[in-house]
Amino acid sequence: MQIKNLFTTLAGLIACAALSAQEKLVSPVIGEREVTFSMYAPAAREVSVHGSWMDPDDNCYGTPVWTSEIEVVKMKKDKTGVWSCSIPLPSCDLWTYNFYVDGVYVLDPNNKFVQWDGTRELSVLLIEGDVTKNFTGATRHGNVELVWYDSPTLGQERRMMVYTPYGYETCNKPYPVLYLLHGGMCDETTWDNMAQATAILDNRIQKGEAEPMIVVMPNGNPSQNAAPYKFFANEDRNEALTRERNAYVNSLVMDIIPYVENHYRVIPDKAHRAVSGLSMGGAHTLAVTAAYPDVFDYICPMGCGGNRSEDFLAGIQGIKKAGYKLYWHAAGTADFAHPGAVVLDEILTENGMPHTFYEKNGGHTWSNWRIFLDTMLPLLFR
C-alpha cells in the first residue's frame, strides 16, 4: 500500500475551505422548548424569519416574498453583528423557512439543508416526532432512477423518476406499481425532493407496513421533457402542448405504463396498479381513472375535487361500473380544494361507491402531502 503520502496533497484543499467566522455560527439551534435562528449581517438594517409553521393553512406553493405581506418574527442584532431570535418550538414536522434581510428573501447561510420546491430554495427545519417518524431512520433503501422513455403521444423523449424497493435487484418476484403524480410548478423530482417520498417508502416497507412496490413519478407538465432549472435544453417550449393536458393523461396510459411494464419486473394488471397525485396530479388522477376505468384498482387523489358536470359524473359512474379495490381521497380542511373534495365525497356516496375521504387540518401544503402519502401507502395492494 503506497497510499499514505498522497494525502498530504489534500491538506491544501482542506485549508482552502477554511470557514470564515460567520460560517461558524450554528443555525437553527433546536432546544427543548424553542428554536433559535441566527445570522451574521452587520450591515443589515432589518432581519426577520418566516417559517411554514406560521401558516399551516397556506394555500400557495410560492410564499410571497415581501415581509409586509406575511407573518415574520423580527431578529435582533448584537454588538458583533449577529442577528438572532428564539421562537417556541413548532410542532413536529419537516418545516421550511427563510430570512428577510432588508426586505429580500435569503436562505439561512448556516443551514446547508435546503429543498427546492419547483419555484425556490427553502431552508429546512426538522422537528422530530410522531409525524416525522417515517422521514428518517430506514436502513434498507430502494434505488431511484431518472429514466428517459419515448412518448409518442407527446412527441418527445421524456424523463421520469422510478423507485425500486430494497431487494428488487436480488429477488425474482414481480412487484405492484404506484403511479405518483406531482402538482403544478413541480416536476418528476418533486415528490422525492419535497415530500421525502423515497424515505417514507423505505420506512413503511422496511417496517412491513406497506407492500414492497415500484413507484413511478412522471413529469406531468406536457411542455417539459424533464425537470427544468438543473440542466439545459430540456424544455420543449411548445405552447400548444402546454395546453394539451388531456394528451399528458393519455400518455400516462399509452406511453408510461407500457414502458414500465416492459422494463421493470412488475405485475401488469389492474389489481397491481395504483394511481395517486397531489393538486394538479390529483386532477390528473381523476382524469386518468375517468378516461381509463379499467387500468387502476387503487385510486387516491389528494388536494383536488369533483364537480357535478355531466362529464365528471359519467367518469365516476364509469369507474363504478368497471370496479375498483380502493377509492381513497384526501384534503386539508383549509385547502382551497377542500370544497371540491367534499363534492367528490358526496358524489361517491350518492353513487353507492365505497370510499374513504381522509380529512385533516391544514392547507394545500407539503406537510399534508407527506402525511397523505404516509397514510395511504399501507392501504395499497392489500
Q: N- to C-terminal Cα distance for the chain?
A: 54
Following DSSP, what letter does each residue of 282-343 receive, concatenated? Answer: HHHHHHHHHH-TTT-SEEEEES------HHHHHHHHHHHHH--SEEEEEEETT-TTHHHHHH
Alpha-carbon distance of 16 to 21, in angstroms, equals 14
CA–CA distance, 45 with 122 (Å, rounded to integer): 23
Alpha carbon separation from 310 to 75, 98, 315, 316, 317 (Å, rounded): 55, 45, 9, 10, 11
- Which of 268/379 has CB closer to its own copies? 268
- Residue whose CB is less far from its own copies, 5 or 80: 5
Please say which residue, 20 or 382, places its beta carbon nearer to its own copies. 20
Nearer to its own copies among residue 73 and residue 106 (C-beta) = 106
Nearer residue to its own copies within complex by CB, 117 or 359: 117
CB of 382 to its own copies, least distance (A): 26
Q: Could you tell me the three cell numbers for 119?
A: 419555484
Least separation in angstroms between CB 314 and its own copies? 5
Residue from 160, 209, 183 nearest 331 by CA = 183
CA angle 213, 375, 184 (to 5 degrees): 80
CA distance 317 to 340: 18
For residue 92, give Cα distances in angstroms to 33, 55, 89, 119.
Answer: 12, 14, 9, 25
Report the nearest approach of its own copies to the CB of residue 119 (Å).
7
Taking the complex as a whole, the smallest distance from the CB of residue 150 to its own copies amounts, in Å, to 11
CB of 308 to its own copies, least distance (A): 10
Nearer to its own copies, 234 or 375 (CB): 234
Please state, in angstroms and as integers, the Cα–Cα distance from residue 177 to each residue in 123, 166, 212, following that order.
32, 14, 9
Report which of 157, 130, 173, 368 is spatially closest to residue 266, judged by C-alpha positions: 173
**Cβ nearer to its own copies, comparing 280 with 348:** 280
Please report where in the chains the cell 448556516 appears, as a residue.
Answer: 110
Residue 169 CB, shortest distance to its own copies, in Å, is 6
Q: Closest approach of Cβ 183 to its own copies, in Å?
A: 7
